[in-house]
């Protein structure tokens, strides 16, 4: 089984830590970086080439919606899941290219694994495949 490489983006240190802990508890997932803002997430994603980005919606500078748009426009875009305190109906995650949305209160290892499988990436992550 290939490991899903995850970048965690949240401006609140406590939430970055909580999401990092959930990822660590989820079989087959590993945190490869964290970022405290939308702008920092773009640089971090370029540096660590994650398979999955867990992106907060409210961020300083560019918000998580705009950061997601920019990440999804990259040559090798990661899957982005928005994670925030808003009710799902309040967040238009589809228009920015996010694969899904999870409320912070519902974010746990099972929900993370389900969300990853739901976007049909339950096979080898793109960045883990060897180039031919």
pLDDT value for 1: 58
Going by the DSSP 8-state scheme, the letter that residue 33 receives in this structure is E
pLDDT digits (tens, 9 = 90+) for 2-45: 899 999 999 999 999 999 999 999 999 999 999 999 999 999 99
The reported pLDDT for the residue numbered 4 is 95
Give yes or no for residue 132 having a pLDDT over 90.
Answer: no
**Annotated domain spans of the chain:** 4-118
Rounded (10°) angle between helices 38-48 and 64-72: 30
pLDDT of 129 above 70: no
**How is domain 4-118 classified at the architecture level of CATH?**
3-Layer(aba) Sandwich (3.40)
Position 122 scores a pLDDT of 52
Residue 88: predicted pLDDT: 67
Flag whether pLDDT at 93 surpasses 80.
no
Which token pair is 129?
A: 């495949």
pLDDT at residue number 125: 44
Could you tell me the CA-to-CA distances from 57 to 72, 75, 93, 129, 131 in Å, in that order? Answer: 15, 23, 9, 30, 33
pLDDT at 56 > cutoff 50? yes
DSSP E strands in the chain: the ranges are 4-9, 29-35, 52-55, 79-84, 100-103
């Amino acid at each position: 089984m290939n490991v899903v490489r995850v970048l965690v983006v949240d401006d609140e240190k406590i939430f970055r830590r909580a999401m990092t802990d959930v990822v660590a508890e989820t079989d087959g997932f590993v945190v490869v970086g964290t970022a405290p803002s939308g702008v920092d997430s773009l640089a971090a994603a370029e540096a660590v080439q994650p398979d999955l980005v867990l992106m907060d919606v409210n961020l300083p500078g560019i918000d998580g919606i705009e950061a997601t748009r920019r990440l999804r426009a990259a040559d090798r875009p990661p899957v982005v899941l928005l994670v925030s305190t808003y009710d799902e109906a309040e967040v238009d995650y589809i228009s920015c290219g996010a694969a899904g949305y999870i409320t912070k209160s519902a974010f746990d290892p099972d929900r993370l694994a389900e969300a990853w499988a739901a976007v049909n990436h339950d096979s080898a992550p793109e960045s883990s495949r060897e180039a031919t």
